[in-house]
Structure 1
Amino acid sequence: MADQDRKGPGRPRSARVDEAIVEAVYDLLSAGQSADAISIEAIAAKAGVGKATVYRRWPNKEALFIDAVTMMKGSLPEPRGESVRDDLVMLLQAMKNKRMEQYGRVTACLLPELVKSAEMHRVYQAAIEPRRNVMRQVLQRGIESGELRADLDVELTLLMLSGPNIAQNMLKWNPNVPSEGFAEKLVDAVLRGIAA
């Protein structure tokens, strides 16, 4: 976003203020506060802005959290479309970024919220569905090209690829599995069962 993006009449928006507000959400979550307990007032105070500044950008806390989770995930990766394997590896590698440690703490703090709050579950699903859809399209393309089985359960395959990747990247679930080449090994293991 440009530093002075206009969203309509009035003062130009500052990308720095937007970032400060989103960073405040990350800081409050990674400090262990529950999403339900975090107020717009607390976010504004942490960001050093007024409550009205937050509301000019987001109509409510849910919209702000959707944007915060979406920004945490980064921009949507674009598969090259040459090979299902290469595209899946690229998508899994894109889930790991330089700020994974902080984002891992934020996500870990969100997990209990996703279990107990239907609202936060909706927020998280809304934020990750576009990413899930990119992988879904790669799998559908693989079925159509004959690279993958015609009877492939696409949704289950999404889970089989994403679940271990999230567990390993965020929680280091199994320290005996090296990070180097993990995405390639995971995709190859799943492909053995789903390839045509």
Structure 2
Amino acid sequence: MRSTQTTTAQAEPPAGAARPAGRPRSAKAEQAIIEATLDLIGEGLGVSALSMEAVAARAGVGKTTIYRRWARKEDLIVDALTTLKAPMPPIEGVSVRDDLITYLTVIMEEGKQTRARCIMNIALSEAERNPEIAMRFQQAAIEPRRAAMRAVFERGIATGVIRPDCDVDLAMAMFSGTMMWQTRWIHRHYVEREELPARIVDMVLDGIRPLGAASTSLKRPEDA
């Protein structure tokens, strides 16, 4: 009996220590849940028809395991979709041109991921029926990228690389939209993929540089 009491006392957390809520969550189980969610969406089940029951069955876990981490289906879907977006590498600030090429290279590499592209297309095609998911995904995965890109544009304007009257939102759409079109929605490519980021950046920068500034397609000066 004495031995049992000692063992129990040793198992007790120190006074004042926070107790974990429920059983510790398994990183392996969470990854299985995320992958099951993405698989089901990609197989055509879609966002609207997805259920916690279906995810639990595919992941091989109980529903309570899912609910300990995600209180609502929408929370799970947003987290799952966000894992498909690679984190942006640090923007070095060497030059506006180089930083924009870095940004577009990430988008180009994502375009090569067939599974991720198909899942995103299916999920976002239901954006009108699921505006909350679309909005939260935008906030979690897209807005941080836009903020990083906007900072590069603002630096370009401040240093005279980009015209002060540049419509930054439209220019950003021209960069990312052109890359997405070239890598995701057309099957015949007129430019080698490895050259795409630099070609797009040079072409758009030529249109938004101050009048009289050197063209990046002919000369590539060090910019700020």
Q: Which 5+ residue runs of structure 1 have no aligned equivalent?
A: 1-7
Deviation at 1:187, TM superposition (A): 0.9
Structure 1 counterpart of 2:186, which letter? Answer: K
1:4 maps to what in 2? Answer: none
| Deviation beyond 6 Å, 4+ runs, structure 1 | none
After TM superposition, the structure 1 = structure 2 runs for residues 65-76 of structure 1, keeping only pairs within 5 Å, are: 65-76=77-88
Tell which structure's C-alpha radius of gyration is larger: 2
Structure 1 counterpart of 2:132, which letter? Answer: E
2:66 maps to what in 1? Answer: 54
Residues 1:124 and 1:170: Cα distance change in structure 2 (over 3 Å): farther
In structure 2, how many angstroms separate the alpha carbons of the residues matched to 1:13 and 1:57?
8
CA contact (8 A) 2:111 2:184 kept: no
In structure 2, how many angstroms separate the alpha carbons of the residues matched to 1:160 and 1:59?
38
Instruction: Identify which of 188, 208, 214 aligns with 1:194.
Output: 208
Cα deviation code 1:82-128 (max 9, x no counterpart):
11111111111112149711101111212321244322321331231
CA contact (8 A) 1:21 1:44 kept: yes
1:162 maps to what in 2? Answer: 176
TM (normalized to structure 1)? 0.87
1:37 maps to what in 2? Answer: 49
Cα deviation code 1:16-73 (max 9, x no counterpart):
2222111112111111122111112211211111112112112222222222222110
* 1:125 and 2:138 are equivalent in the alignment: yes
After TM superposition, the structure 1 = structure 2 runs for residues 94-109 of structure 1, keeping only pairs within 5 Å, are: 94-95=106-107, 96-97=109-110, 100-109=113-122
Deviation at 1:174, TM superposition (A): 4.5
Residues 1:118 and 1:174: Cα distance change in structure 2 (over 3 Å): farther
Deviation at 1:168, TM superposition (A): 2.4
CA contact (8 A) 1:93 1:183 kept: yes
Residues 1:34 and 1:184: Cα distance change in structure 2 (over 3 Å): same
1:142 maps to what in 2? Answer: 156
In structure 1, how many angstroms separate the alpha carbons of the residues matched to 2:156 and 2:77?
34
2:93 maps to what in 1? Answer: 81
Q: Which 5+ residue runs of structure 2 have no aligned equivalent?
A: 1-19, 211-224
| Comparing 96-105 and 154-163, the one that deviates more | 96-105
In structure 1, how many angstroms separate the alpha carbons of the residues matched to 2:182 and 2:25?
38
- Once the two structures are aligned, what percentage of the paired residues are identical? 42
Aligned residues: 190
Residues 1:124 and 1:26: Cα distance change in structure 2 (over 3 Å): same
